[in-house]
Structure 1
Amino acid sequence: MSADGDRDDAQRAAREATEALGAWAAGLRWDDVPADARERLQLVLLDSLGVTALGARQPEQAALVAAWRPAPGPAPLVGGRRTTTVEAAAWLNATALVRLELDEGHKYARGHPGAHGLPAVLALAADLGADGADTAAALLVAYEVAARFGRATTLRAGAHPHGSWGVAGGAAGCARLLGLSAGQVAAAVDTGAGLPVAGAFASALDGNPVRDAWLGAANLSGLAAARMAAAGLARTTGTAAGSLGGLLGTFDAAELTADLGTRWDVRHGYFKRHASCSFTHPVADAVLDLRPDLPADPDQVEEVVVETHSLGSGLARTSWDSRLGALFSTPFVVAAAVVHGSVGPGVSAEPARDDPRLTRLAQRVRVRTAADLDARLPAERAARVVVRAAGREHVREVPNPVGDADHHPLGEAEVLDLLSGWLDDDATVAAVRTVAAGLPAAADAGALLRELAR
Structure 2
Amino acid sequence: MTGENAPAWAREATERLGHWVSTLDVREVDDAVLERLGLVLLDTVGVTALGAALDEHRALRAAWDPPPGPAPLVGAGRCTTVDAAAWLNATALVSLELDEGNKYAKGHPAAHGFPAVLALAAQRDSSGADTAAALLAAYEVAARFGRATRLAPGAHPHGSWGVTGAAAGCARLLGLGPRECAAAIDTAAGMPIAGHFDSALDGNVVRDAWIGASNTSGLAAARLAAAGVARNTGTAALSLGTLLGEFDADELTADLAETWQLTRGYLKRHASCSFTHPAADAVLQLRAHGEIHDVRVEIHVLGAGLARTEWDNRLSAMFSIPFVVAVAALTGEVGPAAYAPEALTDERVRALARRVRVVAADDLTARLPDERAVRVTARYADGTSHTVEVPNPIGDADHHPLTEDDVVALLAAWLPERSPVPEHAVRLAHDLPALPRTGEALRALAGDEEVPECVPSR
Q: In structure 2, what is the equivalent of residue 392 of structure 1?
A: 384
Question: 1:387 deviation in Å?
Answer: 0.9
1:280-314 CA deviation, whole Å, 9 max, x = no partner? 0000000001111122xxxxx43211000000000
Runs (4 or more) in structure 1 with deviation over 3 Å come to: none
Question: Counterparts of 1:74 and 1:349 in 2: how far apart (Å)?
Answer: 33
TM-score of the two chains, using structure 1 as the length reference: 0.97
- Indicate which of 54, 58, 76 corresponds to 2:54: 58
Match of 2:430 among 437, 440, 447: 437
Q: Is the 8 A contact 2:121 2:173 kept in 1?
A: yes
- Structure 1 residue runs without a partner (length 5+): 296-300
SS at structure 2 position matched to 1:235: coil
Q: What corresponds to 1:298 in structure 2?
A: none
Matched, 1:308 2:299: yes
What per-residue deviation string (whole Å, max 9, x for no partner) do you get for residues 46-86 of structure 1?
00000001110011111111111111100000001000000
Task: Report the Cα distance in structure 2 between the residues aligned to 1:356 and 1:285, rounded to whole angstroms.
Answer: 22
Cα deviation, 1:230-272, whole Å, max 9, x if unaligned, reads 0011000000000000000000000000001101010000000
Match status 1:163 vs 2:155: no
Which deviations, in whole Å up to 9, do the C-alpha atoms of 1:201-230 show, x marking residues without a partner? 000000000000000000000000000000
Post-superposition CA distance 1:312-333 (Å, at most 9, x none) = 0000000100000000000000
- Contact 1:277/1:327, CA 8 A, preserved across alignment: yes
Q: Is the 8 A contact 1:279 1:312 kept in 2?
A: yes
Counterpart code for 1:419: L
| Equivalent pair of 1:442/1:448 in contact (CA under 8 Å) | no
TM-score for both structures, normalised by structure 2: 0.96
Aligned-partner Cα distance in 2 for 1:240–1:87: 24
Q: Find the aligned partners of 1:437 and 1:353 in 2 and give their Cα distance.
A: 38
- Identify the match of residue 292 of structure 1 among 279, 288, 295: 288
Match of residue 327 from structure 2:
336
Tell me, in whole angstroms, the C-alpha distance in 2 between the residues paired with 1:442 and 1:67: 35
Given candidates 433, 441, 447, the residue that maps to 1:448 is 441
- Does the 8 Å contact 2:424/2:441 carry over to 1? no
Task: Tell me if the contact between 1:37 and 1:267 (Cα under 8 Å) persists in the aligned partners.
Answer: yes
Deviation track 1:380-439 (CA, whole Å, cap 9, x = no partner) reads 000111111121111111000000001111111111111111114353321211122222
Any conservation in 1 of the 2:2–2:247 contact (CA below 8 Å)? no
Look up the match of 1:324: 315
What letter matches 1:309 in structure 2? H
Q: Deviations over 1:32-58 (max 9, x none)?
A: 111111110010000000000111001
Seq. identity, %: 64
Q: CA RMSD in A?
A: 1.0
The 5-angstrom pairing of residues 153-302 of structure 1 reads: 153-295=149-291, 301-302=292-293
Q: Which runs of 5+ in 2 are unaligned?
A: 449-458
- Residues 256 and 176 of structure 1: CA distance in aligned 2, closer, same or farther (over 3 Å): same
Note if contact 1:121-1:177 (Cα within 8 Å) is conserved in structure 2.
Answer: yes
1:344 shift after superposition: 0.5
Contact 1:138 1:173 in 2 (8 A): yes
Alpha-carbon shift at residue 444 of structure 1 (Å): 1.6
In the alignment, is the contact (CA less than 8 A) between 1:228 and 1:234 conserved in 2?
yes
Contact 2:2-2:241 within 8 A present in 1 as well:
no
